[in-house]
Amino acid sequence: MRKYLLFLLVLSILSCKDNTGKEQTAPLAQSDKSPELKESISRGASIYSNFCASCHLSGGQGIEGVFPPLNKSNWLTEKRKETIHAVKYGLNGLIEVNGVEYDNLMPELGLTDQETADVLNYIFHSWENSVKEPVSAEEVSAIAK
């Protein structure tokens, strides 16, 4: 019953409309994901809602020049280790995402390695993103401060 409720929660989050009026959808079919990845994405949806959506917005579009987009972000796809490091330890300083500069502070969120992996798996498999290689807690723990 609990898994069913979590599934409904994730389904409702993914089917919500973002601020652009476009429907949010996961790019990969559910059947293309392992049960472990599906559970990680489900846990990550809740973490994203609690920790990330206030800045990056519910559709991952961010606010240009202030908070970088997570949807269709070249930074996420081209800088995997830096992305994991930013979620695990926070980020301060200039970065460029999709040709736009961002120089803001992302605080350390205090997430565990598993929570970091879960939220990244959610982001990597949401909206128009399709990062194929899932993030594991072991991969997160290997990222040094």
Mean predicted lDDT score pLDDT of the chain = 84
The pLDDT score that the predictor gives to residue 32 is 75
Higher pLDDT, 61 or 9: 61
Residue 11 has pLDDT above 70, yes or no: no
Q: What is the pLDDT of residues 89-100, one digit of tens each?
A: 999 999 999 999
Euclidean distance between CA atoms 69 and 72, whole angstroms: 7
Domain containing residue 57: 39-141
Structural domains of the chain, count: 1
Helix (H) or strand (E) holding 142: none
Question: Is residue 50 situated within a structural domain?
Answer: yes
With respect to residue 108, please indicate whether it lies within any of the assigned structural domains. Answer: yes
Q: Is residue 115 part of a domain?
A: yes
Helix, strand, or coil here: 95?
Answer: strand
Indicate whether 27 belongs to any domain.
no
- The C-alpha angle with vertex 70 and arms to 68 and 73, in degrees rounded to 5, equals 85
In a domain, 1, yes or no: no
pLDDT at 110 over 90: yes
Cβ atoms within 10 A of the Cβ of 46, count?
17
Residue 135 lies in a domain: yes
Angle between helices 35-51 and 113-124 (to 10 degrees): 100
pLDDT for res 29: 52
